Every structure is written in structure tokens, then in C-alpha cells.
Amino acid sequence: MSGSDRPHPSGADPGLGSASRNSQPPVPPALPPGPPPTPPSPGVVPSAYPPPYWVPFYGTAPPRPTNGLGTAAGTLGIVATVLAVPPFLLWAFGASIPVAVVAIALGGVGISRAKRLGGAGKGMAVTGVVLGIVALSLTLLEFAAIYLLLGMVGHM
């Protein structure tokens, strides 16, 4: 039997236009059962759009704002204090003054910014101001001591 001699699968003759329109369309074969769909993870919003930058999970708080100026002030205050302590290092002797002044300035701005941010970074800003003042006063005391010592040596 050739391909044109076989009967049509729906039982109707394909040459009869009106008879083939009234018959049911062929049903596609059934797919084998697959795994069940997984539910979305907590905090993931199923949508056609990409997720937002930060997706909250259950029980977590949004990230706190940071105070970079307070952190910079604290770091510079520590550096200024380290540079001010050893007076025998002549290359670092005067370097603590500009670092201390910048630490004091950034600490003041950092404290005012911490008030707006709910206290974020206030401790580091205060540390920068305090250590900047300590470093500045240590350096000025060392300058005064060296000036007095050199003045006394010159009069001997």
C-alpha cells in the first residue's frame, strides 16, 4: 500500500473539504510526567522583570548607611598620633600636623553626618577628632621642647 492509499488518521477523507473541517483535530501525544515545579525561594519575587538591587529575606533588616568621613577621620587620627609620638624620627616629625588637621576637619563633618544618619560612624568620627587634637598638641609640645632645648644650648 502506498502513502496515498492509506486511510486518513481521523477517518475522514482528506479530499472532502467539509468533512475534514467537522472532525476533531489530532491530539498531540502526552508528555511523560516530569518533576513538580519548585516554589520560589523566600525573598525572591517571581516576575518577568529582573529582581531589585536588594531583595529582603524574611527576618533581615535593610543595610545601615555608612559614614565614610567618620571612618577616614578615625584612620587619619590614628596615623597622625603614630607620626607624632616619636620625636626622633625627623622625617615624620612635621608630617603629623597636616594629617592631624585633616583628621579634625573630617571628624567634625563626620559627626554632623552621623547625626543625619542616625549615629552611623559617630564613634570613628569622634576618635578622629580626639586623636587629631592629641597628635597636634603632642607635635606642638615637641616643637616647643626642641626649640627650648636648642635655645638653652645656644646660651651655654
Q: Average pLDDT of 114-135?
A: 93
Q: Is the pLDDT of residue 65 over 60?
A: yes
Q: Is the pLDDT of residue 73 over 70?
A: yes
In the chain, the percentage of residues whose pLDDT exceeds 70 is 65
pTM confidence score:
0.57
CA 5 remoteness from chain centre: 73
Task: Parse the chain into domains and list their residue ranges.
Answer: 68-154
Q: Is the pLDDT of residue 154 over 80?
A: no
Answer with the residue of higher pLDDT: 128 or 52.
Answer: 128
Answer with the residue of higher pLDDT: 133 or 1.
Answer: 133
Closest CA to 108 of 94, 95, 121: 121
CA distances 105 to 75, 124, 132, 139, Å, are 13, 13, 9, 17
